[in-house]
Amino acid sequence: MSKDAYIHQVLPDAPGSPLLFVFHGTGADENQLLSFGRELLPSATIISPRGDVSEHGAARFFRRTGEGVYDMDDLARATAKMAGFVKAHVEAEKPSAVFGLGYSNGANILASVVFAEPDLFEVAALMHPLIPFEPEVQGSLAGRHILITAGRRDPICPPNLTARLEAYLRADGADVTVEWHDGGHEVRPNEIEAARRLFALAPAGEGDKNNG
């Protein structure tokens, strides 16, 4: 586990404050969601890694062979590496809670870490995730709060796969909220408000950890 496994940015807050990890979309970098994270959770330390895979110059968190066709071996590699990165920062910061926010490819790596390490994030906001496989959750998601946001006309993330992901997460015990809009892959104001509500209402401390 290394705090420096990824190039990353940190917006610090007080010691022991919540940690919010933010994960960018394809072609962006560690700066994409920093200010957004601060806006959503002003009292948190924000940590934003840059994807370590280049797709024709566009940064991603894991490889794919086509739109919606994932290199599952590389996804496994990336998931283990990211989980170690998150754990290293959690160990160093000893936060009151650990939150995650990802958009598009960033939502996919966050979801994959949630599947692999269900106790790591108390709260996760997955904005326009695409999970084209049946996840194997390594434990229970009971007590975890997960928001999925999606567009009904999203050409990248078909609504049926969003509904299937919701069903998987619920079956594993997660408290799931889904926020839709009628557009495509873009983030709209109602999604932002749903994320704000999620982080504002989520337990920020020890009581929630006992449910994991």
Structure confidence by residue, pLDDT tens digits, 47-96: 999 999 999 999 999 999 888 899 999 999 999 999 999 999 999 999 99
Q: Please say if 154 is a catalytic residue.
A: yes
What is the predicted pLDDT for the residue at 202?
Answer: 60
Say if residues 128 and 103 touch (Cβ distance below 8 Å).
Answer: yes
Q: What are phi and psi of 53, to 5 degrees?
A: -115, 135
Q: Which of 112, 154, 172, 181 is catalytic?
A: 154
Say if residues 150 and 159 touch (Cβ distance below 8 Å).
Answer: yes
CA 7 from centre of chain: 17
- DSSP string across 109-166: HHHHHHHH-TTT-SEEEEES----S----SS--TT-EEEEEEETT-SSS-HHHHHHHH
What is the predicted pLDDT for the residue at 209?
Answer: 37
Instruction: Please determine, for residue 173, whether its predicted confidence score (pLDDT) is greater than 50.
Output: yes
Mean pLDDT of 8-21: 93
Instruction: Please determine, for residue 140, whether its predicted confidence score (pLDDT) is greater than 70.
Output: yes
Mean pLDDT over all residues of the chain? 92
At 180-211, the pLDDT tens digits run 999 999 999 999 999 999 998 765 543 333 33
Measured distance CA(4)–CA(32) in Å, rounded: 19
Q: Which of 104, 128, 145, 181 is catalytic?
A: 104
197, containing H or E segment = helix 189-201
**The residue type at 113:** V
What is the predicted pLDDT for the residue at 26?
Answer: 96
Whether the pTM exceeds 0.85: the reply is: yes
Which among 160, 76, 162 has a CA at the least distance from the CA of 126? 162
| Tokens (6 digits) for 113 | 């870490």
| CB atoms inside a 10 Å sphere around CB 80 | 14
Q: Please say if 185 is a catalytic residue.
A: yes
CA 82 from centre of chain: 11
Beta strands in the chain (DSSP E): 8-11, 19-23, 45-49, 53-55, 58-60, 64-66, 69-70, 98-103, 123-127, 145-151, 175-181
- For residue 47, give Cα distances in angstroms to 88, 154, 168: 12, 28, 28
